[in-house]
């Protein structure tokens, strides 16, 4: 089973709030200098799921990303985990593409690769939190898509996918090739092994530009974007916390219960 995993490099979502800063004028996040960007954690889970499928059924795992030179880091991480090859899709005309543009760029790369049974994406990128690219990619390629996948089985040539929902789960069966967006219920991604890191560092990561994938530049970049960012801001906090101080925790607990009763909440 040949699998393509789409990954994105993002600002580390675990950074302390004190390090999260905005350039409101240019509507951009200022990345802290001392904290390197990371592979989107949901994409890392997609890589993990791909490796588990490969361990059972064999095949090759190709990792794709749309981004600049530094984006190869996210690809290297996936290679160190156990993916076989990586490709960076990079061109000035790709910059500032929205989810439709990004999905289009990825779809053109998929058409060039051609030989795949499964495309995996993380359920959403933990920066803009849109959860769009995987679904739009499937629509462009006219492939079936199952979102929020937790696990995949191969049964009589079809993919059987368990997907998570808020109040339960569903099982879908789709013929390959198909697109899945992967949820965190998949479980913790493995850590790259020492050997994995060494072999990943030795691998060449080809860069494909718009010409290489036959991308129509009228469909990429800021100009093709279906929505424009008007404003980016940090929300104002409305609450002020009253810290309850007391000699003993018993006393503090008693005071807290009284406060809750006064608020009419108990």
Secondary structure class of 219 (helix, strand, coil): helix
The residue assigned the tokens 């200022």 is 30
170 binds another protein (CB under 8 A): yes
Please, are residues 216 and 97 in contact by the beta-carbon 8 Å criterion?
Answer: no
Residue 253 is a binding residue for another protein (CB under 8 A): yes
Minimum distance from CB of 207 to another protein (Å)?
27
Residue with smaller CB distance to another protein, 184 or 203? 184
26: contact with another protein by CB under 8 A: no
Would you say 72 and 96 are in contact if contact means Cβ atoms under 8 Å apart? no
Catalogue the long-range contacts made by 227-235 (C-beta closer than 8 Å, 24 or more residues apart).
227/98, 229/27, 231/24, 231/27, 232/22, 232/24, 232/27, 232/28, 232/29, 233/22, 233/24, 234/20, 234/22
Residue numbers 91-110 binding another protein by CB under 8 A: 99-100
Give the tokens for residue 255.
């005071």
For residue 58, state whether it binds another protein (rule: CB under 8 A): no
* First-last CA distance in the chain: 57
CB-wise, 26 or 243, nearer to another protein? 243
Task: Name which of 23 and 68 has its Cβ closer to another protein.
Answer: 23
Distance in Å, CB of 144 to another protein, minimum = 4
Least distance (Å) between residue 202 CB and another protein = 33
As a whole number of angstroms, the distance between CA 160 and CA 146 comes to: 10
Minimum separation from the CB atom of position 145 to another protein (A)? 8
Task: Tell me if 85 contacts another protein by CB under 8 A.
Answer: no
Under the binding rule (CB under 8 A), the answer on residue 140 touching another protein is yes
CA distances from 111 to 57, 106, 116 (A): 23, 9, 10
Stretch that binds another protein, among 52-60, 86-94, 142-150, 207-215 (CB under 8 A): 142-150
> Using CB under 8 A, which of 26, 55, 69, 166 touches another protein?
166
Angle between helices 41-57 and 72-81 in degrees, nearest 10? 40
Asked if residue 30 binds another protein (CB under 8 A), the reply is no
Q: Which stretch binds another protein (CB under 8 A): 53-61, 84-92, 105-113, 238-246?
A: 238-246
**Residue 240, phi then psi, degrees to nearest 5:** -125, 125
Stretch that binds another protein, among 47-55, 85-93, 122-130, 213-221 (CB under 8 A): 122-130
Binding mask 184-213 for another protein (x = CB under 8 A): xx--x-------------------------
């Amino acid at each position: 089973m040949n699998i393509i995993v789409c990954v994105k490099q993002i600002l580390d979502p675990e950074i302390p709030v004190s390090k999260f800063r905005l350039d409101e004028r240019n509507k951009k996040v200022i990345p802290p200098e001392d904290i390197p960007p990371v592979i989107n954690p949901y994409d890392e889970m997609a890589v993990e799921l791909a490796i588990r499928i490969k361990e059972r059924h064999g095949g090759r795992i190709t990792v794709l990303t749309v981004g600049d030179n530094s984006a190869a880091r996210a690809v290297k991480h996936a290679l160190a985990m156990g993916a076989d090859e990586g490709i960076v899709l990079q061109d000035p005309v790709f910059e500032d593409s929205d989810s439709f543009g990004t999905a289009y760029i990825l779809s053109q790369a998929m058409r060039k690769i051609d030989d795949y049974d499964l495309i995996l994406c993380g359920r959403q990128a933990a920066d803009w939190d849109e959860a769009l690219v995987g679904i739009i990619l499937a629509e462009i390629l006219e492939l079936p898509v199952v979102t929020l996948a937790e696990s995949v089985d191969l049964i009589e040539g079809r993919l059987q996918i368990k997907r998570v929902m808020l109040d339960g789960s569903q099982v879908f069966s789709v013929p390959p090739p198909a697109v899945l967006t992967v949820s965190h219920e998949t479980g913790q991604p493995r850590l790259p092994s020492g050997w994995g890191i060494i072999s990943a560092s030795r691998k060449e990561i080809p860069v494909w530009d718009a010409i290489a994938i036959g991308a129509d530049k009228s469909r990429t970049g800021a100009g093709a974007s279906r929505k424009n960012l008007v404003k980016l801001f940090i929300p104002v906090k409305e609450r002020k916390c009253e810290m309850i101080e007391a000699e003993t925790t018993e006393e503090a607990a008693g005071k807290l219960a009284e406060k809750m009763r006064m608020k009419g909440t108990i």
